[in-house]
Amino acid sequence: MNPPRPRSIEVDFFRGIVLIVIVLDHIPGSVLQHLMLHAYALCDSAEVFVCLGGYASAAAYNAVLTKSGPKAAQTRFHKRCCEIYRAYLLTALLTLLSGAILQRLHLNRPMVELTGWPTFSTAPIKEAFEIATLRRQPYLSSVLPMYVLFALTVPLIVPLARKSPLPALASSATIWALAIPLAKLFAIDDVSDWAFNPFAWQLMFVIGILCREHPVSAGFQESRSGRWFTKIAIAAVLAFAVTRLFILTQPLAGHLKQNLSIERVINFLAIAWLATGLVRTGAITRLAHRMPAVIKVGQTGLVCFVGGTLISLTVDTATPRGLSGLSHGLVALAGDLIAIIAVLLLARFWNDWKGPTQPRAAVRGADCR
Distance in angstroms (rounded) separating the CA atoms of residues 245 and 268: 17
Q: How confident is the model at residue 355 (pLDDT cuts 50, 70, 90)?
A: low
Q: How confident is the model at residue 368 (pLDDT cuts 50, 70, 90)?
A: very low
Which residues, 6 or more positions from 139, have their beta carbon under 8 angstroms from its beta carbon? 95, 114, 115, 116
Distance in angstroms (rounded) separating the CA atoms of residues 272 and 260: 16
The answer to whether 311 touches 20, Cβ cutoff 8 Å, is no
Using a pLDDT cut of 90, give the percent of the chain over it: 73
Using a pLDDT cut of 70, give the percent of the chain over it: 92
SS3 at position 8? strand
Does the pLDDT at position 335 exceed 80?
A: yes
Q: Note the pLDDT tens digit of each residue in 55-68.
A: 999 999 999 999 99
State the pLDDT at residue 82: 95
Q: How confident is the model at residue 326 (pLDDT cuts 50, 70, 90)?
A: confident
Q: Note the pLDDT tens digit of each residue in 83-121.
A: 999 999 999 999 999 999 999 998 888 889 989 899 999
Q: Note the pLDDT tens digit of each residue in 201-255.
A: 999 999 999 999 999 988 999 999 999 999 999 999 999 999 999 999 888 888 8
Average pLDDT over residues 8-31: 92
Q: How confident is the model at residue 5 (pLDDT cuts 50, 70, 90)?
A: low
State the pLDDT at residue 366: 37
Q: Is 127 exposed, middle or buried (0-12, 13-18, 19+ CB in 10 A)?
A: buried
State the pLDDT at residue 188: 65
Does the pLDDT at position 46 exceed 70?
A: yes
State the pLDDT at residue 364: 39
Mean pLDDT score of the chain: 89
The distance of Cα 71 from the centroid of its chain, to the nearest Å, equals 28
Alpha carbon of 97 to those of 1, 70, 91, 93: distances in Å? 49, 40, 10, 6
Q: How confident is the model at residue 6 (pLDDT cuts 50, 70, 90)?
A: low
